[in-house]
């Protein structure tokens, strides 16, 4: 699996994402563009060659523009997404396309009133555990929640929950760290 080394959106990536979001909203194509953008990023994550094309300075702008136009044509993704990728490549920002998707996705979620949450556990959650956490979060925030789960064995047990900028750390590792700190201070 290939993945771009850059996942956090720069200010430029956020501006491009906002421009695409506003255009898609004006044209009534938000859902389609959101889906196309996700599909493009999934392609980049799965294709080492596409990731290299996006990120490598070894290719000229013109080479990137031509190659990405071919990729977009073969992918069957919408015209608005193809044009967006073309503009970013033409402007020398092909390495910002993947990070721009995160910014676009955040705008789309905010527009729909969806709260994003990430839960980390030491092992995979069961479907019932995931449903229970989603239900509790939906009640707590008073709306729809999109839950992403991650596995981090270093937590030992328990969970870490991040919703927005808030982190609730109820992991065994965090409890052990707090105990260690308390014992050192005693």
Chain segment 69-106, per-residue pLDDT in tens: 999 999 999 999 999 999 999 999 999 999 999 999 99
Domain ends where: 90, 110, 130? 110
Kindly report the CATH number assigned to the domain that includes residue 42. Answer: 1.10.520.20
Query: How many structural domains is the chain composed of?
Result: 2
Kindly report, residue by residue over 140-183, the tens digit of the pLDDT. 888 888 898 999 999 999 999 998 788 999 999 999 999 999 99
CA 38-92-41 angle, 5° bins: 10
| DSSP strand pairing (166-171 vs 115-121) | unpaired
CA distance 103 to 174: 30
The separation between the first and the last C-alpha atoms of the chain, rounded to the nearest angstrom, is: 48
pTM above 0.85, yes or no: no
**Structural domain span for residue 82:** 11-110
């Amino acid at each position: 699996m290939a993945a771009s080394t850059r996942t956090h959106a720069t200010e430029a990536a956020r501006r491009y994402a906002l421009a695409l979001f506003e255009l898609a909203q004006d044209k009534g194509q938000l859902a389609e563009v959101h889906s196309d953008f996700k599909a493009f990023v999934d392609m980049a994550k799965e294709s080492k060659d596409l990731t290299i094309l996006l990120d490598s300075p070894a290719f000229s702008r013109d080479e990137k523009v031509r190659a990405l136009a071919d990729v977009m044509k073969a992918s069957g993704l919408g015209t608005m997404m193809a044009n967006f990728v073309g503009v970013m490549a033409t402007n020398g920002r092909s390495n910002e396309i993947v990070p721009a998707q995160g910014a676009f996705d955040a705008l789309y979620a905010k527009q729909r009133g969806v709260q994003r949450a990430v839960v980390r556990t030491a092992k995979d959650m069961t479907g019932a555990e995931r449903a229970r956490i989603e239900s509790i979060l939906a009640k707590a925030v008073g709306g729809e929640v999109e839950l992403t789960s991650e596995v981090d064995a270093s937590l030992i047990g328990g969970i870490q929950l991040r919703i927005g900028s808030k982190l609730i750390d109820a992991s065994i590792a965090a409890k052990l760290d707090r105990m260690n700190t308390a014992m050192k201070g005693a």
